[in-house]
Amino acid sequence: MENRPPNFDLSGHAALVTGSTRGIGAAMADGLTEAGAAVLRHGTRATPPQNPSVLLQDLLQPEGPSLLLQAAFAIHPSLNLLVCNAGSFFDVPFLQMDRARYEKTMRLNVESVFFLVQEFARRISEQKREGAVVIVSSTNGFQSEEDSVAYDTSKGALVMLTRSLALALGPMKIRVNGIAPGLIRTPLTQGWMDREPDRVRHVEQKIILGRAGKAKDCSGACVFLCSAAAAYITGEILTVDGGLTTTQIGRFSK
């Protein structure tokens, strides 16, 4: 893209976006690419045609985060942007939740992020380079949702992890911020949204902008937080929800 505003130009930067073969992750990877960054994507399954810029790694495995960062730095030694987006939803009603589902949620949604950022920070601080991290949490990190106890807990943990990491990594000149998407149409949410149109209409009635979000609605926030335009911002969570969490009741039906 030509004639980028200088503060938003990511030319010369390299980024890794986890969970970026589809949905919000893919949209953010696209946005970073359009801003000029060299972007590595991450997934768990190969998709034809095989793309060398897509790194395959299971982040549920204990060594997954370290192996993913090792592969990413091998391709782009100048890697200085990390977007932690990989995560998923495994909940059932609370009284039916078992330890396996709970632990899977925490390993993927929280633990993998913790150790991805740790490995990333170690590598670039050793090289005395500056960097930026964006952690994708959710409005579920602030407000609870029915039959979503483990997921809500994990996203709330990411909110505090973002703030705590900003404090820990600030002296190393590594900024850490977060994005909290609201109701966004993605492959993860599309199934229940198709099955429960009344529920979707109910939520959209509360969204100030009157619609569920699209994955690309999260792209600009990610580019901003990675760019020089956000050079004096760290420890912040940017809510991308069309105003969903702004009002208590929302609009009344007409």
The sheet that has 14-17: what strands, in order across it?
A: 54-56, 38-43, 14-17, 81-84, 131-136, 174-181, 237-240
Alpha carbon distance 41, 52 (integer Å): 9
Q: Are strands 81-84 and 184-185 parallel, antiparallel or unpaired?
A: unpaired
Please pick, among 73, 115, 120, 151, the residue that the annotation labels catalytic: 151
Q: Nearest-CA neighbor of 36 among 227, 179, 216, 229? A: 227
Return all residues near 60 (Cβ < 8 A) that are at least 6 apart.
104, 107, 108, 112
Q: Given the structure tokens 């760290």, which residue do they identify?
A: 234
Please answer whether residues 181 and 218 qualify as being in contact, where contact means their C-beta atoms are separated by less than 8 angstroms.
yes
Give the Cα separation of 86 and 42 in Å (integer). Answer: 9
Residue 151 designated active-site: yes
Instruction: Find out whether 107 and 60 touch, Cβ atoms under 8 Å.
Output: yes
Catalytic site positions: 151
